[in-house]
Amino acid sequence: MKVELAASLLWAATACVAPPETLEPRVLERGMVVCEHELAAQVGRTVLEQGGTAVDAAVATALALAVVYPQAGNLGGGGFALVVDAAGRARCLDFRECAPAGASGARVFDAEGVRHPDWLLWSPHAVGVPGSPAGLALLLEECGSGRFTLAQLCAPAIDLAERGFAVDGELHDDLCDKEDRARLLRSAAARERFYPRGAALERGDVLVQRDLAQTLRRYANEGAAGFYGGATAASIVAELERAALALPEGSRVGWVTLDDLRGYRALWREPLRAEFRAREVISMPPPSSGGIIVLQTLALLERLAPSAKTFDAEYAHWAIEAWRRAFAERAAVMGDPGFVEVPVDELLSARWLDRAHASMQDRATPEVQASDLHEGSNTTHLSVVDAWGNAVALTTTLNSSFGSGMLVEGAGFLLNNELDDFALGDGLRNQFGLVGGAANAIEPGKRPLSSMTPTVVRRAGRVELVLGSPGGPRIVTSVAQVLLRCLVFDEPLESAVRAPRLHQQWSPAETWIERGWPAEFVSELRGRGHELDERVQPFGRVQAIRVSPDGSVEGASDPRGGGAALGTRQR
């Protein structure tokens, strides 16, 4: 019911909008929005039905997610968007958070020199300068159809924040998660918002967020300046100062300031592109590690098992070995390209593939090192296609589920804890068990290395697949597995997304394995020397769209989550 309100509000604002005249709306039969919350998908679909393009719809969907999916939808986080238009032009927008000017590696040490890695999850030292408000505004300004203002695309989100929406089972369950709850309860504003009666909001409670509606209004009216300056910026800094009181006195420096906020810019990046099985695979370059690793995986499997017929244990063995080598490189050489020279061409070269290939055997090689190859709950994804053949893959995150747990008092949104994505050094693992070195060490203004992998596949001159996922490093392997199932084994999209998954990230040496694989598959992998961790929760929540050659559009929202795939009858 709330969504009908949001939709009608948008309708009222844009009732006379016709499709952009310069575009021929006959390339595809329909448009589609797939994301992790049905209310947000409905907002995006309404924009498509009102004549909006995939970019217009993606912006409105992302803003709605910031209201109805506080676990990961955000204003206080960041992300990446890959936009591919009907002519095949592709652009990547990097609106990843960056470290504040005062950040240093010392931020996790107290005055006695004791290290506190947990500060990177809940304290002001965890928070990167938010990128989403700048990113979404720039995306609309440079790639939108021009038929919708930012204010129009903010309207449904404002409506959902002001009138409220019914809490679903997933939000209730996530608020009950032990670690997420502990982080949220540190923040007075988060406590009041999500645990109003001393316990987590229940399914069916109506969550009203008037302060968030006000913040969105300032953003709607003034654009990015309405977030990075004025009342919103002041509230962010005040919240960080309040939260810092929980830290020992000598450690209360170096977090996000008004200057950091004013100075934030989203950046355009050149997408990575590779040929694969008569397609073009387009994905995110650094500061994501995801595009490189996905392209390395596809290329290695094409060499190792060119005629495989199914995703069987032998194929899985090669995939695991490919990830082991690719993630070793991630830890060694990948970081923000504004600070370190990431050898992207080398990592995607025939020479790298030759060396990786030559180092593989029929059995697991848990001892592989990056130098052997070199000479020298939370994020969310949305996929949209429109009737003109444009596509957007957008992944956005607060990092942990509910980010740092710090809800900005008076402004109503959660702040990220993205700085945990920097390498801690000394072999220390971050919350995803990732290790890294100097290439991903924290520096002022630097963006932490990411695994977010928004990806688009084109075939015969048009978009065929749009996908991405949450899941930290599991994003990369989840996206790779869905691509392999669709492109190599021709599996239907829904079953490719649903299929059980594996994950391997070089260190630790064990491979994660979801439930649902046949027993013989598991024992064959063990027989090849793979140490398997079967105790894992389901991982990755792929949100994908496939366009058939006849133009029909199919969406798949991963059954591991509670999202929705909504198509339009747009022509």
Contact residues for ligand DON (CB under 6 A)?
A: 377-379, 397, 399, 418, 421, 450-452, 470-472, 475
- Residue matched to tokens 């449904």: 156
Q: Which is nearer to ligand DON, 80 or 311 (CB)?
A: 80
Can the peptide bond before residue 343 be classed as cis, meaning omega within 30 degrees of 0?
Answer: no
Q: Which is nearer to ligand DON, 177 or 372 (CB)?
A: 177
Buried b (16+ CB within 10 A) or exposed e, 390-407: bbbbbbbbbbbbbbbbbb
**Hey, is 126 helix, strand or coil?**
helix
Catalytic residue among 61, 215, 379, 453: 379
Q: Which is nearer to ligand DON, 121 or 391 (CB)?
A: 121
- How many angstroms separate the Cα of 114 from the Cα of each of 106, 249, 250? 10, 14, 12
Strands 511-513, 532-533: pairing kind: parallel
* Residue 380 CB, nearest approach to ligand DON (Å): 8
- How many angstroms separate the Cα of 479 from the Cα of each of 197, 363, 401, 483, 527? 40, 24, 20, 6, 26
Euclidean distance between CA atoms 321 and 51, whole angstroms: 46
- How many angstroms separate the Cα of 209 from the Cα of each of 116, 134, 164, 189, 382? 33, 22, 7, 11, 23
Whether 379 sits among the annotated catalytic residues: the reply is yes
* Residue 563 CB, nearest approach to ligand DON (Å): 13
Q: Which is nearer to ligand DON, 152 or 379 (CB)?
A: 379
Crossing angle of the two packed helices 290-304 and 474-487, in degrees rounded to 10: 40
* Residue 364 CB, nearest approach to ligand DON (Å): 25
* Residue 96 CB, nearest approach to ligand DON (Å): 7
* Residue 179 CB, nearest approach to ligand DON (Å): 13
Under 8 Å between Cβ of 506 and 331: yes
Q: Which is nearer to ligand DON, 454 or 555 (CB)?
A: 454
* Residue 334 CB, nearest approach to ligand DON (Å): 11
Q: Which is nearer to ligand DON, 126 or 213 (CB)?
A: 126
Residues in the chain: 571
Instruction: Give phi and psi for 513, each to the nearest 5.
Output: -135, 125
Under 8 Å between Cβ of 323 and 299: no
Euclidean distance between CA atoms 135 and 59, whole angstroms: 9
Under 8 Å between Cβ of 391 and 466: yes
Q: Which is nearer to ligand DON, 39 or 476 (CB)?
A: 476
* Residue 540 CB, nearest approach to ligand DON (Å): 8
Q: Which residues are catalytic?
A: 379
